[in-house]
């Protein structure tokens, strides 16, 4: 049995758990790429990567998995098949994207034992840049995702594109030592 069939079997049996674990791996990989190729760190900050993996597992993974299910149920009865992906993308980019990116900042701040003032300052300094960068990538990715990808694989499809995003995000928010 090849690895793709095994993964598919697990995805069908446990979609949300599988998406969360996959997301943790991809967020960690994004952080490693950020450290090695963007920040040019000589040594990997393993603790930082582990924190980002945990962040992907318990925050990003569940949020996007459940969000895609919510969107599918919300637009499931729409007869305008051509408009559905566009409607989903607009809702996604106008509500979910700003929220998930905003709440990521204090969550990561708390994980890194930052003070309230440091967390607020981080939001003030980084949130707008993160959203501008987000809007350069995610609307196009989400249109493709909603048009072409079955529900159980949307979080994974987005996570594959998120590898680049995660590299940027973890570099932007990483604890530089």
What pLDDT, on the 0 to 100 scale, is given for residue 174?
61
Lowest mean pLDDT among 79-83, 95-99, 151-155: 79-83
Say which residues have a Cβ less than 8 Å from residue 67's Cβ, sequence separation at least 6: 92, 96, 100
For residue 169, the enclosing domain spans 3-173
Share of the chain above pLDDT 70, in %: 92
Alpha helix stretches (DSSP H) within the chain: 3-13, 15-33, 46-55, 61-74, 84-91, 97-111, 116-148, 151-173
pLDDT score recorded for residue 64: 92
pLDDT tens, residue by residue, 107-123: 999 999 999 999 999 99
Instruction: Give the chain's domain count.
Output: 1
Residue 48's pLDDT is 92
């Amino acid at each position: 049995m090849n690895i793709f069939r095994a993964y598919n079997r697990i995805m069908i049996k446990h979609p949300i758990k599988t998406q969360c674990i996959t997301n943790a791996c991809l967020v960690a990989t994004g952080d490693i790429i950020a450290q090695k190729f963007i920040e040019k760190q000589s040594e990997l900050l393993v603790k930082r990567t582990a924190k980002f993996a945990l962040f992907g597992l318990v925050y990003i993974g569940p949020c996007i998995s459940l969000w895609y299910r919510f969107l599918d149920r919300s637009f499931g009865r729409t007869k305008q098949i051509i408009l559905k992906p566009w409607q989903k993308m607009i809702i996604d980019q106008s509500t979910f994207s700003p929220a998930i990116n905003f709440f990521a900042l204090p969550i990561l701040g708390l994980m890194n034992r930052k003070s309230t003032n440091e967390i607020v300052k981080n939001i003030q300094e980084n949130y707008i840049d993160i959203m501008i960068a987000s809007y350069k990538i995610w609307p196009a990715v989400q249109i493709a995702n909603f048009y072409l990808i079955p529900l159980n694989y949307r979080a994974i499809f987005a996570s594959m594109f998120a590898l680049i995003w995660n590299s940027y995000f973890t570099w932007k928010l990483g604890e530089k030592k």
